[in-house]
Amino acid sequence: PPGTGKTAIAVGIAKELGKDVPFVSISGSEIYSAEMKKTEFLMQAMRKAIGVRIHEMRKIYEGEVTALEIHKVPHPYNPYQQIPKSATIRLKTKDEEKQFKVDEVFAQYLMQQGVEIGDVIQIDADSGRIVKLGKTKKAIEKEKLDLATEEIVDVPEGSIVKEKEFTYVVSLHDLDVATTRRGSFFSLFFGGKEEITNETRQEVDEMVKNWVDEGKAEIIPGVLFIDEVHMLDIEAFAFLNRAMESELAPIIILASNRGMARIRGTDVKSPHGIPLDLIDRLLIITTKPYSKEEIRKILEIRITEEKVKMEKDALEYLTDIGEKSSLRYAVQLIAPASNIAKRNGRNEISKEDVMEAEKLFADVKRSMKYLKEYEEMLLGG
């Protein structure tokens, strides 16, 4: 039934899974778009919910910058403008110190990152990417800064040149997009909503399987949460039937507040508006209306979150409203009741404030009663 915590379960699952496990939440009505097919939208949502943790060993140069000189030359088209041609940089760790001469690509990265003497940097030898890790404590003290936005880091230990493992998590959909554009990983963050071919997805699946076999990657099955699933039509359900049993499929959670309802796109009635053959593949979790104690506890949490104070009898009265009407209505009355209390010069919400808020804002039952009472005066659809 409505208001029994279906979406709350989704939020709880997302927080419990942690940051590396993909969690994708969509609504049943989102699939209807002029830009792409319904089945393509669902497939992309499923691929977003499957993560790939990639492990990569890369050669890097890491150390504190003790000397930096960027050599510039006039721009070929504008002699008044200077552009970097090369750079000389000296890096130091606790165990060694070396000087390097780098080309214009590295020199441009050094300028873009604003690298200065005293910074601790990391240079990727293959891609030329430079990352500022922070500034040494000695450099901060030398500049006599009381407050600094840059992180204070220690001078690295060991050799300047080292092999380091990098781990990053991407979704199968990210890899699909990168493969479609045949670009680098940075191309993931730009572009439109074009459809992806099955051949591309098969290519990505093969590539990921090879990575897993070689020990370079591991697959992280995530969760796809589809709220208001009764909004999907028969075509979308037929696609889900097949897709959820494929080799690379996430855990799919469907939520609906419908009883016996017509399946969209047909004249057939079915439980929750979902075809029976799909229901047969599901494990069903039933949610029940909250008890009075549970409503009180939820209201207490909400009151704390909204940073307001409420008298005990006011909370009890609000709990009764939640039990008789709905929890959503009771929660929505907290803000107006708080404003009424402030208008009357009080910091704590009293029972009278809640009663006044209830009087001003009707719940569904009172609204329906009002409609029936003034039905003749209201305009018809």
Give the pLDDT of residue 148: 64
Interatomic CA distance for residues 105 and 129, integer angstroms: 9
Give the pLDDT of residue 318: 93
For the domain bounded by 6-53+171-279, which CATH number is listed? Answer: 3.40.50.300
Band of pLDDT at residue 145, cut at 50, 70 and 90: low
CA torsion sign for 166, 172, 173, 177 is positive
pLDDT tens-digit series, residues 162-191: 888 888 889 999 998 888 876 444 444 555
Give the pLDDT of residue 50: 92
pLDDT tens-digit series, residues 96-108: 889 989 888 888 8
Overall average pLDDT of the 251-258 stretch: 88
Overall average pLDDT of the 52-72 stretch: 88
Which among 62, 55, 64 has a CA at the least distance from the CA of 20? 55
Give the pLDDT of residue 187: 47
Overall average pLDDT of the 142-156 stretch: 76
Band of pLDDT at residue 380, cut at 50, 70 and 90: low
The mean pLDDT value of the chain amounts to: 85
CB 175 within 8 A of CB 207: yes
- Which long-range contacts link 269-277 to residues 24+ away (Cβ below 8 Å)? 272/229, 272/230, 273/229, 273/230, 274/229, 274/230, 274/237, 275/234, 275/237, 275/241, 277/241
Helix axes 312-324, 351-360, angle to 10 degrees: 30
Whole-number percent of the chain with pLDDT over 70? 94
Whole-number percent of the chain with pLDDT over 90? 23
Dig out the tokens for 95 from the structure. 């165990």
CA torsion sign for 258, 328, 330, 299 is positive
Amino acid at 210: N
The size of the chain, in residues, is: 381
DSSP 8-state code for residue 183 = -
Domain boundaries in the chain?
6-53+171-279, 57-165, 292-371
Give the pLDDT of residue 109: 85
CA torsion sign for 183, 189, 194, 197 is positive
pLDDT tens-digit series, residues 313-337: 999 999 999 888 888 999 999 999 9
Q: Which has the minimum average pLDDT: 1-5, 122-126, 367-371? A: 1-5
Give the pLDDT of residue 56: 82
CB 90 within 8 A of CB 66: yes
Q: Which fold has domain 292-371?
A: Helicase, Ruva Protein; domain 3 (1.10.8)
Band of pLDDT at residue 194, cut at 50, 70 and 90: low
CB 27 within 8 A of CB 133: no
The better pLDDT of the pair 356, 180 is held by: 356
The better pLDDT of the pair 214, 195 is held by: 214
3-state secondary structure of 154: coil
Give the pLDDT of residue 184: 43
pLDDT of residue 147 exceeding 70: no
Q: What is the pTM of this model?
A: 0.69
Q: Which has the minimum average pLDDT: 75-84, 169-178, 214-223? A: 75-84
Overall average pLDDT of the 301-310 stretch: 91
DSSP 8-state code for residue 139 = H
Overall average pLDDT of the 44-73 stretch: 89
Q: H helices within the chain, ranges in order?
A: 6-17, 38-48, 104-113, 137-142, 172-181, 198-214, 234-243, 276-279, 292-305, 312-324, 327-332, 334-343, 351-360, 364-373
For the domain bounded by 57-165, which CATH number is listed? Answer: 2.40.50.360
